[in-house]
Amino acid sequence: MLRKPDLLNKTRKWLVFHRGYARFNGSHEKLSKFATGIAVMTGMVGGVVYCLEKYGISYPVHARFNAKNIRDVCNTYMAKPVTDIYELERNADKVSSKMEHLIMKTQVEICRELERLEGRNFAIDEWSKENNTGGGVTCILQDGKVFEKAGVNVSVVRGSLSENLEKQMRARGKHYTRKKDGTLPFVAMGVSSVIHPTNPHCPTLHFNFRYFEVVDGKGKRTWWFGGGCDLTPMYLVEDEVTQFHKAWKNACDKHDPSYYEKFKKWCDDYFFIKIRNERRGVGGIFFDDLEAENPQEIFDFVTSCCGAIIPSYIPIIESNMNKGFTEDQKAWQQLRRGRYVEFNLIYDRGTKFGFVTPGARIESILMSLPLTARWEYMHTPKLGTPEYELLEVLKEPRDWV
């Protein structure tokens, strides 16, 4: 709320200063009068806003100088948003603004849940790119009793699509015409996380939800969403995997009954280590280049997905984080983490995208890697062991729901 005394005092100070300056230096009288006029206009506009608020008369959200409602929301996040708060207020109806709020909200919700279980707070690293082209907020928790390493990263990047990135887009069926100055403006944003628990009975979780928008030389705006969530257990507990998949099926079914089956298969096929002929984990959902005539439809679906992360995963951690384990079980966990590293560095599209992005931040790209991992030459689990049972599932995906 703007207060009337503040408006009057600020306007009075402008008037007094510039009148005095005009008397002291007549050569600047025109400049002084101009500045005085601006001060008067500012006071008049502020007075109108004061009256509107005082008597409960509504006016456009983006006209509010205070933007208190946006600030209150932003103050609940792990850190301030990358985009200026005034810009988020002014463009509140844009999908990009809604998406930035969603990823910041998702980050803080996940971090608070993990902090509750760990009993420690995340370290928060706010970073920015050169030339005001974006930045992000990386939250890291490592060397914990419950979580050996957990990272939850938000990034918002703007700029011109490089030739390498444009080539990747063409490979995915997207063709653009650059502007006359050779640029191809884009904005990309997302929230991504990988959670590596300490206990080998607790599965690793990965999720990523992102938005990409391009404006070509003809002014045409194209956009799409991508993302997913998948589970990587070291020891198979079928009931837990079933409950995990049910949570994601429910999130999908709210929007399209065909989503779950289609996105589950996509996940099984995507997280596949070809050279090993096995999946990284027991899947979940995965989708990319998802668009519709109305972007709000897909945004609503992504919102439901973000809301499914905690109920699909946290109960599994709570059930297993205090279980005892042997040195052999810990060694098996380290071997499976080695597979995780192999997939992320060799096959993962997001990692590759990060490596070819100009000014890429290596710490954010490699945030998904575990703190520790292990490779053994020709390691093969014995027939009939829990380790062997897991490998059989990773070679032949099941229908869990």
Residues identified as active-site: 206
Distance (Å, rounded) from C-alpha 196 to C-alpha 205? Answer: 7
Distance (Å, rounded) from C-alpha 317 to C-alpha 307? Answer: 17
* Structure-token pair, residue 105: 């909200």
Q: Which residues contact 250 (CB under 8 A, 6 or more apart)?
A: 308
* Structure-token pair, residue 392: 């059989």
Tell me if 342 sits within 8 A of 273, measured CB to CB. Answer: yes
How many other C-beta atoms are found inside a 10 Å radius of the C-beta of residue 284?
Answer: 27
